[in-house]
Structure 1
Amino acid sequence: MLPARINTAQIDDDMNRSGILISDYWVWNDKFLYYLVPTLSISQSDGIQWLFVDSDTIESYRKQLDERIFDIINRYKVQSNVPGFLISKANFYFCSIPADLPCLEEWIRENYPEQYEVIQNFGPRQHLPKRIDHHDGKYAEIKQALSEIQRLERLKRKQMIYKSAQQIWAELNELDNMNLLELLPR
């Protein structure tokens, strides 16, 4: 018998294995788009492993899955609205495209007002610099604000993934005349 609820600890392991929340790159919303595909796994305690499939690969699963299952997966994709900036290593920030800096700042203002205030009030400029080197102490507060945004966005993405996985799983369990053990890819 398959569980009624998903195992978030298992999803955490699947996220860690896939590396989707570990990436140093923050990208425009059309880039951070994942479909959650449940698969059967003998090594998992509940038998379910979650794959994080990008938009370029999802069509290959259409052939492997029943159309109803594919439609459910497609309905609950995970997409982030985070603008692009790169954190290449600890204490070194580089905003991806200089022309995108105003969009990034506006997004921070709307979503993280406390961090936006820090960015506005510290450093020799009143906005995000294109690059902050780890040796540059005058941007320490801005680096800390960006680091906090990154931490909070990872938590937000994690919650989005949990919610999507639970919605997918609940709908899969409601399907009539289906044996999920036979229909999920292995």
Structure 2
Amino acid sequence: MRIRIDANIISKTDENIDLHYNHAIYSAILNILPDDISTKIHDENNKTIKYFTFSSVFIKDDNCHFYISGEDDFIMHIIEGLQSNSMLRIKDLILDVYRISELPGLNKKRNYLFKGNIIACEIVNNKKVLIEDDERIEERLQSICEKKLRNRGLEIKPIKFTVIFKEKKFSKI
């Protein structure tokens, strides 16, 4: 879900405020959320999972707006927090939120194509060796992805890997 938050500027003490300062916006969003959720986001084990994204604050006269996007449940917590307290502080801006608008969803793709270089190795007899067989490389990548998804508590869905080009490179001369 994506939302746009419109607000009136109640107080602005620094005329040269850096509105691209992500920490201030991030802190303001965490302050909106219930304590258990903001603690979960700030927990060391969850640093690799990105729960939401946000834009800079766009100011025009005494009004401003910014955008937040993330999972529906998470955004609903933000909306509920702003409905119970419409005052918001971002650095030295004090805002009074007067409108929260849901934006249309983005078109979701069924397939994504990622290209990248990989080094496909496995340990055989306590030695790290390159995997030469394309099918074995794909199996190895699949098992690594499943492990990463499992560690993050995400649903394990099959991911298809295809070796397009294979080249052996050695760094030792």
Same fold flag (TM > 0.5): no
Scaled by the length of structure 2, the TM-score of the pair is 0.27
TM-score norm. by structure 1 comes to 0.25
Find the structure with the greater CA-based Rg.
2
From the two aligned structures, give the one with the greater helix fraction: 1
